[in-house]
Amino acid sequence: MTTHVLVPIDGSPLSTKALEVALTDYPDAEVTVLHVMDPIGAGFSIVDVMRPKFGDGAPPGSVTEEYWAEWYDSSHERAESLFEAARETAAAYDATVQTVTDVGDPATEIVAYADEHGVDRIVMGSHGRSGAKRLFLGSVAETVARRARVPVTIVH
């Protein structure tokens, strides 16, 4: 019997569909919605991260503290927006969800969360990225399916 389902979300239509599948297929389970803020896959532009001058003591090409603070704040705001949408979806199924934000590599953090929090099923979308980004960065769902110690349902 599935009692705790983890649903990673990234704002893609497939992650919303995965949440709907989890709420439908496991109506009595605790559902945790996880959003992983990924600083590596954040889509930096070199202009965004380069220090504008060398006179501040930082090596050329280093990332400013202000950039990271701005990235974290905007990523956290996006996570809250995703969680609000997830709560609305859950309410439509007469359910509630727990929400968790983490920072790091999405596949690694999803598997670690499942291992550390008694999750007995992961339900996730098959992909959130498209095109070259997906090919270059790899499939998070594929990595989770290979590494997870619990069953993984991948929604297409």
What does the alpha-carbon distance between residue 59 and residue 50 come to, in Å, rounded to a whole number? 9
Domain 4-39+79-155 has CATH 3.40.190.170: no
Within 10 angstroms of residue 152's Cβ, the number of other Cβ atoms is 20
Token representation of residue 97: 């969800």
Q: How are beta strands 98-103 and 30-37 bridged, if at all? A: parallel
Nearest to 156 by CA among 11, 12, 14, 6: 14
pLDDT of the chain, 156 residues: tens digit per residue: 999 999 999 999 999 999 999 999 999 999 999 999 998 876 544 444 444 444 455 555 567 888 889 999 999 999 999 999 999 999 999 999 999 999 999 999 999 999 999 999 999 999 765 555 454 445 899 999 999 999 999 998
Q: What is the pTM assigned to this prediction?
A: 0.84
